[in-house]
A and B are shown apart, each in its own frame.
Chain A
Amino acid sequence: MTTNERRQEYRTLFKQNVKNRLLVDKAVRIIVFACVIIAIIPLGSILVEVFKNGISAISYEFLTATPGSIGSGKGGIGPAIQGTLIIIGLSSLIGVPIGVMSGIYLSEYGDNKLARFIRFFNDVFMEFPSIVLGIFAFLVIVLILGHFSVWAGAFALSLIMFPIVARTTEESLKMVPITYREAGIALGLKKWVITFRIVISAAKSGMITGILLSVSRIGGETAPLIMTILGSSQFFSSMDVPMDALPLRIWRLSLLPYDSAQLQGWGSALVLIIIILGINLGVRYYFANKTGNGIMGRLIKQGVSNKK
């Protein structure tokens, strides 16, 4: 990158005013360190506030009861917790098989133009505004059925989920040595048997990581749920009526001007953050210990940073 003349130039430059240069260097070091601190302060503040304010809202009634009348401060978030678990389950039911098969395609048949095209758009699709995916689910499911539906929410969230699963599956399958596949071929096995019985069982942990990280991502999604499951204060009764979810409940509570609503909001936030950070940290801790700082460790970190 550097030509000989420029190198000469730098060499003479570096001999001069050493003192100032060291000073600048030190200043930059401090600034750079300050950047890290500035980024960590909000994280600390969020965690502290959520725990501090949320813990006093938590009680058995709060976790299991239906919400009381607005502003009364009574009742709880039972339907919201139940709804979040249901919606996570249903979206995984749709998103995981598609994501895994798509990952298999990218990894096992992925050496052609179409696959490179798909890989690229998969990455772009991952960054689509989630609210637009919500509108899409609204248009193709809610508008056609004529009522809000749990399936619409699950469909919207599965659209967020499957590209993440596809990419992590692809990366983990690619790390399985080619010799494993060759051993399968030598045994005369069919390709799909090789893929499901040998390759996937070797890449299992990476795939599970990807799936759980995508679960922790969709668990906190709010925007696509607004126009698909709407929110409700009743426990789940059927797929065809509105349902509640934790992020939706937090949003609704934050719009209310009462102190008691704020307190309940913090309580819900605490429950949500425990679920999500629990999955996230658990997965990272478990697999980081197992795989160290290798490619897998990097992948895990990327998996999170790529998807908020």
Chain B
Amino acid sequence: MKKNTVEYRKQSILSDKIFKVGATIAGTFVLVMIALLVFQLVSESYPIWEEDGLSFIVGTDWNAVDGRESFGALPYIFGTLVTASLAMLIGVPLSIGIAMFISDAPPKIGGPLGFLVELLAAVPSVIYGLWGLLVFRLYFKDWVEQPLHDLFGDSIFLFSGTPFGLDILTASVILAIMIIPTVSAVSREVMKAVPQQQKEAAYMLGATKWEMFKLAVFPYSKTGLIGASILGLGRAVGETMAVTMLIGNATGIAAIPSSLFKPSQTMSSIIANEFVEASPASLHLPALIGVALVLLLIAIVINVIAHLLVTKMMKVKEGAINN
């Protein structure tokens, strides 16, 4: 009898060990994938770095025609950064407003409204693109871009060029709509982390609701709100389909953003547009993979910063509860 128990224990330890090893392997899968991904991108884009070196990043020519090949990614890096920053500029204040409203409204109103805003996240990117292309662009061109052009077109370079609807501004506005659910949801979580006593203390001093936000909520949740915005920036940088369908797809030097009403190109959209046609034998494919590598590095940096900021904020929250 005693012997049986011992055997059983041995056996159980073995099967549990297998279980633990299996779970650990699945857990480390993500790390393996990230390493493999970076390695693959680096090794497959190696020809372009060997050929052009750093001038691949600062170059502005983009020509895939045989014999006259030259590849410079600068316009697309610019395009991505400009559209994503514009999207943040438009989307973040809106999102923080939404988070303020929902965190403050009675649950019966705030709940459904918050739910609707979050539904924006469930709409597939390609449907944003279709809607932007066939509906939004037409209204936006007539009601926003044309008036802006008429008013400032001659004096401010940002508004020069003929508004056509397939340009940087349209793409940025669609991106802004797409990042609203992310930024507002995280902002709301972050604002929830502000201790109730802080808010009550502000009210007790006679603050109005807005002053309460200014005095108690914003200083406390600043880090988290910045993190939420950067998370939105990361989203905007990686977004592909909607941008591809709306940005007008210029290439080469023409894609450098010089006016809001000019077609441009982002890193992800140039990949989506040209990847299938690129021949693996030429430099075209390595160049596109090089663009993907740059995009990935930018996205990793942005997201690591964002996650560090948000986790830091949430740790503060745990500390506050324990105290």
Contact = CB atoms under 8 A, between A and B. Distances in A.
Q: What range describes how many residues of A lie at the interface?
A: 35 or more
A127 B135 contact: no
A16 B225 CA distance: 31
Contacts of B111: 293
Which of B26, B178, B185, B220 is packed against the most chain A CB atoms within 10 Å?
B26
A33 interface: yes
Contacts of A136: 36-37, 40-41
Contacts of B208: 21-22, 24-25
Given A191-B19, A305-B121, A46 B238 contact: no
A97 B199 CA distance: 44
Contacts of A247: 124, 126, 241
A36 B177 contact: no
Interface in A103-131: 104-106, 108-109, 114-115, 117-118, 120-125, 127-131
Interface residues of B, number: 105
Interface string A245-287: 0010011001000000010011001001100110010001000
Nearest to A129: B238
Contacts of B241: 222-223, 247, 251
A220 B23 CA distance: 29
A228 B118 CA distance: 30
Contacts of A307: 121
Contact of A122 (B30, B41, B118): B30
Contact of A29 (B28, B113, B209, B238): B209
A234 interface: no
Interface of A is mostly: helix
B130 A108 contact: no
A140 interface: yes
A132 B37 contact: yes
A139 B195 CA distance: 49
Contact of B127 (A46, A97, A104, A306): A46
Interface string A15-54: 1000001101100110111111011101101100110000
Nearest to A189: B12
Interface stretch (A6-14, A57-65, A71-79, A200-208): A6-14
B107 to A, nearest CB: 7
Which of B34, B115, B210 is packed against the most chain A CB atoms within 10 Å?
B210
Interface string A197-238: 000000000000000000010011111001100100000000
A220 B127 contact: yes
Contacts of A45: 131, 135-136
Interface in A84-109: 97-98, 101-102, 104-106, 108-109
Which of A35, A133, A254 is packed against the most chain B CB atoms within 10 Å?
A35
A125 B20 CA distance: 23
A50 B127 contact: yes
A219 B129 CA distance: 16
7 contacts: A10-B215, A38-B94, A120-B311, A123-B307, A128-B296, A192-B16, A273-B127
The 9 closest A-B pairs by CB, nearest first: A220-B124, A129-B238, A35-B97, A101-B26, A305-B185, A105-B27, A192-B19, A105-B23, A25-B208
Given A14-B207, A277-B119, 9 more contacts: A39-B95, A40-B116, A49-B131, A123-B303, A127-B299, A132-B299, A222-B124, A251-B245, A293-B107
Interface of B: 12, 15-16, 18-20, 22-31, 33-34, 36-37, 40-41, 44, 93-95, 97-98, 100-102, 104, 107, 111, 113-131, 133-136, 177-178, 180-182, 184-186, 189, 198, 201, 205-211, 215-216, 219-220, 231, 234-235, 237-241, 245, 268, 271-272, 275-276, 280, 288-289, 292, 295-296, 299-300, 303-304, 307, 311
